[in-house]
Structures are given as C-alpha cells and as structure tokens.
Amino acid sequence: MDTKVMLTEKEMPTRWYNIQADLPEPLPPLRHPATKEPTRLPPPLFPEALNEQEFSKERWIEIPEELQEIYKLWRPTPLMRAHRLEKALGTPARIYYKYEGVSPAGSHKPNTAVAQAYYNKKEGVNRLTTETGAGQWGSALAMGCMFLGLECKVYMVKASYYQKPYRRVMMETWGAKVVPSPSQETEIGRKILKDDPNCSGSLGIAISEACEEAFARDDTKYSLGSVLNHVLMHQTIIGQEAKKQLEKIDVYPDMIVGCIGGGSNFAGLFLPFVTDKIKGKKPKLQIICVEPQACPTVTKGIYTWDYGDVAGLAPIALMYTLGHSFVPPPVHAGGLRYHGMAPIICHLHKLGFVEARAEYQIPVFKAAVQFARTEGIIPAPEPSHAIKVVIDEALKCKESGEKKDILLALSGHGHFDLGAYDEYLSGKLQDYEYPKEMVEKALADLPKVA
C-alpha cells in the first residue's frame, strides 16, 4: 500500500457512534456526590444537549453541519502505514497509525472541544470555563470557543502556567483568558492561597475553581475534555474514519493499541471496531489500552464507585480507580495522570472486550525516539505509551512470523513536550514505580454507594 490513506471531505463521517446502543449490559448510572442516588450531569455545568447525549441509547447522533464545516479544517485526518518503522524492526507485522496531531491544537481534543462549544452556544451559553494541566485540553477548548464565538476561561495549574508558557500563549492567541490556579478569582482559590500563598496548584484544584465559577455565573458553563460518555462519543469520528480508510485497502486490524488517561482518544478510535467484537463478528480482535506504571488505573486499580474529581464534588461513577485523592508521580505524560477512567472503557474491560497494560516512561521515550527516527513525526509522551506496546507486539510477530495488522492511536505530536525528550536524551529522565502505599491510602477513602 501507499504511505497514507486519505479520505475526501465528502467521505468524512456525518454521525457520531454511540456505543451505549450496543453494549451487552447497560452502563451503570452515575450517582450524585451527596445523595449517592442515580443522577444526570449537573445542569448548571452542562447544557441540556450534552446531558442528553451522555445518557442516550441512540446508535447514531448527527453531527450538526456547522460543526462538520469546522472539523474540515483538519479532518479527515490521515491514516499512515509505518513502512519505515516496520523495516527498522524487521517485522512481518503491518503497522498503521491514525494521526490526530494535524489539528491546529496538535491533538484529538478539538473533536469534542468544538462540539461542546457548539451545543453550549446553541443553548445561549456565552462563556465556558475549564481546567488544564499541561495545556492540551485548554488549548483545544480555547480554539473551540474561538470558532463558535464563545468566551473561554482556563484555570491552568500554576506550575504549568509558569513552566510551559507556550501552551498558555497558544490559548491566548485564540482569545482565551488563562489564569494560574489556585487564583484569587474563586472562593476555593482564595482559601487555598490564604493557607499556602506558594501553592503550585493541581488539576483537582483547577477543576474545583472552574466548576465554582460555572456554578456561580448564569452565562457560564463548564467543559470537560475526557472521561464522560458524550466526550468519548464525539471522538468516535476518529475510529469511523480509520475503519473507512482501512476498508479502502481491505484491512481489518488484528490488534488496536492506544493510550488511556481519561480514555477519550483511544475510545474514539476503538469504539467503532469493538462493536464488531461485541456482535461476535470479530471475536479475535485484540484491543490494548496502555497506561503509565506511575498511574496504572486499570491494571492495578479496583473496580468500584468513586468520585470523578479530587474534591468529591463531581458525580460518582463505577470505574477502575486508584482513589480520587491519589496524586500520581509527575510523569511527563500529563494527560495520563488521572485517578479514574472513562466508565465506558472500564465497563468494556470488565466484560472482557478490551485489555490493559502499564509501561514505564523510560522505555516509552525510547520507543518514541525510535518512532521519530523512522516515521519523522515526534509523538507526544501520551501516545508514546502505545507506541511502546506496538513495537513489542511487532517484535513478537518477528519471532512468530505472524503478519498481524496493528492499528495505533497516534493522538498528538510532541512539539510542546521537547523538554521531556531533552531529559530522556541526556539520560536525566527518571522512572517512577507504582506508588502502592499512596494508592492504598487513597482507596481507603471511597464514597459509600448502596
């Protein structure tokens, strides 16, 4: 085959795929953080349309035309064949990657950011707040709000705000207001700063500030970049495209590999395929979720009810969790440092349709550099976890002689992560063991759901 399979704009999917229509067992409902009763998403934070999508059982949901036009600025994205990596590995396996780094924000995140901005706008919401750690999600939402004409306010973890100024400037270039969190702009921020004026922030604090502002202002709602069902559904445009692209070259993958933090990037790719496995059409399809050893939610966490956020204000979900109060070691894959996991992915794992592995960051960066030195693209640290597993599997094929078709979720480029590459290349990168004791402590503090 050629190096790339492209789709025309006319071939771009016009509907999102909703896995909830095809689950063999329904997803357990969310629970209210206070009452512990089944609940919807908090209406002060989310518009009605997204709340409907969150619990919808419709198989297909139309992508509004205005949104399709925005997608076309970077979609359909290319499906690439990693000829040069295969050759370097000497493997008979065929490696394909679906590359989402071509979006202006550099990752898959804009697929849901523009959708969320669209539905908020439609319901008269003029402002969105959100949180961001390393800046991937914040920049995607800043861009999404810009396209739809919404104001955007991003609470950026203070340590990142000062250490990664480029991501902040990217958001500001698209017109967003970015404040270092904890800030003086919310009650919780002021309280934390009073206790510790030098607090460098955390994603948990930033979420609380963003939510507090959305609760307090009628014109403002809140936006979340992963985990929730509607977010994963918006990302299914990735997998639908990949399926069409592979069909053009008569390929159905034997194995799909991606990284999971909140889960939206990889679910976006695999959901349109896993349905074939659920229906018994592709019983041998292997779907491998890859997470960091430093935050091994699915491989070492427990499947139970836990809060979505650190403060215990978000709905409670049944999911794999390391405990909502667990703060993972500072690995460079900032997007994979979440204590929980998308309930859809956990549910599919529990039912045996997907599996999970955990990887250390030094071998992950070794794989990333091998990828950069063959395919050219410098991958973000997050999908480099999946690259590590793809290389392992391709080498197994070399041993066995199997000609597997392996599909990789390459969710974004590493242009803003070159500091991490520098650490790796200069031998300064350190690895983090699974912090067992911290997890045990966090798991002792779970909400009690009947």
**Which residue lies nearer to a copy of itself by CB, 175 or 312?**
175
Straight-line distance from the first to the last Cα atom of the chain, in angstroms, rounded to the nearest whole number: 55
Q: Which of residues 131-150 bind a copy of itself (CB under 8 A)?
A: 143, 146-147
Query: Which of 200/370 has CB closer to a copy of itself?
Result: 370
Other beta carbons within 10 Å of 287: 25
Query: What is the C-alpha R_g of the chain?
Result: 21
Q: Is there binding between residue 363 and a copy of itself (CB under 8 A)?
A: no
Indicate whether 173 belongs to the interface with a copy of itself (CB under 8 A): yes
The correct pick among 33, 42, 47, 106 for binding a copy of itself (CB under 8 A) is 106
Half-sphere exposure of 269 (CA within 13 A, CB side): 34
Integer CA distances (angstroms), 145 to 122, 142, 223, 343, in order: 12, 5, 11, 27
Measure the CA angle with vertex 101, ends 11 and 392; round to 5°: 100
> Of residues 32, 57, 373, 396, which one binds a copy of itself by CB under 8 A?
373
Q: Smallest gap, in angstroms, from Cβ of residue 115 to a copy of itself?
A: 15
Residue 283-322 contact track with a copy of itself, rule CB under 8 A, x = bound: ----------------------------------------
Of 18-57, binders to a copy of itself (CB under 8 A) are none
Do you find a cis peptide bond into 76, omega within 30 degrees of 0?
A: yes
Report the residue number, 178 or 354, with the smaller CB distance to a copy of itself. 178
Under the binding rule (CB under 8 A), the answer on residue 102 touching a copy of itself is yes
Residues 45 and 214: beta-carbon distance below 8 Å: yes
Binding flag, residue 66, a copy of itself (CB under 8 A): no
Q: Are 227 and 267 in contact (CB under 8 A)?
A: no
CB of 128 to a copy of itself, least distance (A): 16
Is the CB of 110 or the CB of 182 nearer to a copy of itself? 110
Q: Is 90 in the site for a copy of itself (CB under 8 A)?
A: no
Instruction: Indicate whether 11 belongs to the interface with a copy of itself (CB under 8 A).
Output: no
> Is residue 172 close enough to count as binding a copy of itself by CB under 8 A?
yes
Question: Which of 38, 43, 330, 419 lies at the binding interface for a copy of itself (CB under 8 A)?
Answer: 419
Q: Which of 66, 123, 163, 169 binds a copy of itself (CB under 8 A)?
A: 169
State the minimum distance, in angstroms, from the CB of residue 6 to a copy of itself. 6
> Which of 255, 299, 251, 265 is closest to 384 using CA atoms?
265
Cα separation, 152 vs 187, in Å, equals 20
Decide: helix, strand or coil at residue 52: helix
Report the residue from 21, 73, 216, 351 that binds a copy of itself according to the rule CB under 8 A. 73
CA distance 177 to 171: 8
Cβ-Cβ contacts under 8 Å for 102 (sequence gap 6 or more): 74, 77, 78
For residue 256, the minimal CB distance to a copy of itself (Å) is: 22
In whole angstroms, how close is the CB of 186 to a copy of itself at the nearest point? 24
Q: Check binding of 430 to a copy of itself (CB under 8 A).
A: no
CA-based nearest residue to 406, from 65, 86, 132: 86
Per-residue DSSP letter, 21: G
Alpha helices, DSSP H, located in 249-380? 264-278, 297-300, 343-350, 361-375
Out of 87, 166, 281, 351, the only residue in the binding site for a copy of itself (CB under 8 A) is 166
Region near a copy of itself per CB under 8 A, out of 77-85, 125-133, 206-214, 244-252: 77-85
Instruction: Look at residue 103 and give its three-state secondary structure.
Output: coil
Residue 357 has, within 13 A of its CA and on its CB side, a CA count of: 18
Measured from the CB atom, the residue of 96 and 174 that comes closer to a copy of itself is 174
Site for a copy of itself contains 369 (CB under 8 A): yes
Find the part of the chain contacting a copy of itself (CB under 8 A) among 7-15, 31-39, 225-233, 317-325.
Answer: 7-15
Q: In 223-342, where do the E strands start and end?
A: 255-259, 286-292, 302-307, 316-321
Q: State the DSSP string of 152-217.
A: EEEEEEHHHHHH-HHHHHHHHHTT-EEEEES-SSSHHHHHHHHH-TT----HHHHHHHHHHHHHH-
- Least separation in angstroms between residue 387's CB and a copy of itself is 14
**The binder of a copy of itself chosen from 24, 38, 43, 165 (CB under 8 A):** 165
Residue 147 vs 307, nearer CB to a copy of itself = 147
Residues contributing to the site for a copy of itself (CB under 8 A): 2-4, 6, 8-10, 69, 72-74, 80, 83-84, 102-104, 106, 143, 146-147, 165-166, 169-170, 172-175, 369, 372-373, 375-378, 415-416, 418-419, 421-422, 425
